[in-house]
Chains A and B, each alone.
Chain A
Amino acid sequence: MNKSDIKLIFILLIVSTLTIGIMKLKSSEGTKEAKVYYQNDLLLTIPLNQNFNKTYTVNGENGDVVIEVENDKIRVVEEISPLHLCSKQGWIKETYESIVCLPNKIIIKIEASNELDAVVE
């Protein structure tokens, strides 16, 4: 390692911590909803409110994908895939986060729920 390596490491640390900080700040504090997609089709829209616990089962490419909602966070509990990456990922709750189940072609995104959008739909 030489001096320019150390410089590179410092720049990387600063850039990434700054962007993570900005993302945390920008994540909206209002009501959120989780959207579950199979390929590009919207399967479910789940409101992420307080005091709301429920499990959902959707049909993925390899079979059932069990999704659990608890208060304001969401996770994949069970799915059929070689590495179980998306159930290992655990809970997500910020608007910029998502869970991708590549073998099952299931994507869960969290978005800020918007009253106007609901009217348009």
Chain B
Amino acid sequence: MELQKNARLSLLLAFAVVLNIIENSIPLFGGHIPGLKLGLANSIILFVLYIYSFKDAMYISILRVFLVAILRTGVFSQAFFFSLMGALLSGGAMFLTKKFTKLSIVGVSIVGSIFHSIGQVLMAIIILNNNMIYYLPWLLIFSIPTGIIVGIISKELVNYFKNDLQNFEN
């Protein structure tokens, strides 16, 4: 069933790219808090992490960063490195929390959102040589509601498709 799985994963990748582009064009709070967004693409990553595996989730996550960069800013632009760092850190953190803590998918989503912010701030310190760490507590506060929303969406997705996928693959 490798072919079927690959087809499903590429469909999910396309969803993640589209969600990413849509939410980038709708700034929350009129853009008064730079960098703040819902992170809807993360619901796809979480879904893949729960249904398939960590490796597949990271594939989707990194390919998504490349594709969005090609479509929006160009590969190896500064914005590309910001989202790459965010994707790597949040993917790793979500895997570890899922494996080693009792947090539900909502908690895992919040952790992913936090580490995405940490990745971006780290990159700002490295690339822009600018001490953006003051910005982190604000992003932490906002990662609670956005993490909960994305977590609930992924939970519903996982519940909905879990039975469906099992029926298909047996």
Contacts and interface: CB of A to CB of B under 8 A. Distances in A.
A97 B32 CA distance: 13
B146 interface: no
Overall SS of chain A's interface: helix
A16 to B, nearest CB: 4
B134 A83 contact: no
Contacts of A89: 31-34
Interface size class on chain A is: 20 to 34
Interface string B67-81: 000000000001100
B81 to A, nearest CB: 11
Given A1-B104, A9-B148, A15-B140, 9 more contacts: A9-B144, A12-B143, A16-B140, A16-B141, A19-B136, A83-B24, A98-B132, A100-B128, A102-B79
Interface of A: 1-2, 4-5, 8-9, 12-13, 15-17, 19-20, 23, 40, 83-86, 88-90, 96-98, 100, 102, 107, 109
Interface of B: 24, 27, 30-34, 78-79, 101-104, 106-107, 110-111, 114, 124, 128-132, 134, 136-138, 140-141, 143-144, 148, 151
